Amino acid sequence: MPSSCSKTHISLLVIFLFSLHLCAHAGDLDQNIEINWGNDQAQMLNSGQLLTLSLDRASGSGFQSKNEYLFGKFHMQLKLVPGNSAGTVTTYYLRSQGSTSWEEIDFEFLGNLSGDPYILHTNIYTQGNGNREQQFYLWFDPTADFHTYSILWNPQFIIFYVDDIPIREYKNSVSIDIPFPTKEPMRIHGSLWDGEGWATRGGSVKTNWTEAPFTASYRNFSANACVWSSGASPCAVNSSDATWMTQVLDPKEVEKLKWVVRNHMIYDYCADSKRFPDGFPPECAVTVIKE
């Protein structure tokens, strides 16, 4: 990263981190997560070590983190709905709360017919707009066991990881005016809901309610992050506990990302010329990873 770029991003940090303090937490989900909709469809089990979300015709379910964050590195292990999950959407994401400028960083897992792969749908909303989708087929069965899904969010980058393998990079820029979430605190959310209108083959395959309830499982949430707390000390930019604040992909990670793009990406909005006949969004100039 050029030194001028690094200095600019550090200046941004100074501006935005006055109301933050640094935290690192992990362990019991019930210490960090609260169920916020779905009533008995969501369950905290194993003394707070496991959280399950269920969906039936009456309702889905969801949770959110007790804290709000502005920048951090977040990890969660998920095991997705097995069998015929067509029409279901399992999510794990960051979202701003009640803001006039909607910010969101999404993992969404789109269910499918038994035997067909899940689609991992990623998106980024900033300054009230989304439409930044990238989609992937995973290289394993996400219903057979737990896998780790991570989000790195700092003033320079948003990076999505699956089992520590980077699958997507969204880059801020000092030379191009790129929409990038830097001002709004966000909470971690998770949900399981009925998306049969669009989730599976564009909505042509509907949810089979005779197989309900559908259940997804979450565990091992951890966050190395800046907690939004008015009046608290700012995050320490150079702290050894906040190396993620200036983290970028190293050369080996770049090669892993290229491998994912080459072998597992099935849609990239930055390559959809039919959708953008008059030119791609500005971030595509700096965030596209070439094979």
Active site (catalytic) residues: 104, 108
Rounded CA-CA distance 255/266 in Å is 18
Q: Which are the contacts of 279, defined by CB distance < 8 A and separation ≥ 6?
A: none
AA identity, residue 180? F
AA identity, residue 170? Y
Rounded CA-CA distance 55/30 in Å is 21
Q: Which are the contacts of 95, defined by CB distance < 8 A and separation ≥ 6?
A: 103, 104, 105, 186, 187, 189
Rounded CA-CA distance 87/264 in Å is 22
Angle at alpha carbon of residue 228, lines to 174 and 79, rounded to 5°: 90
Helices and strands in the chain: count of H runs, count of E runs:
4, 16
Q: Which are the contacts of 251, defined by CB distance < 8 A and separation ≥ 6?
A: none
Q: Which of 74, 71, 1 is nearest to 250 (CA)?
A: 1
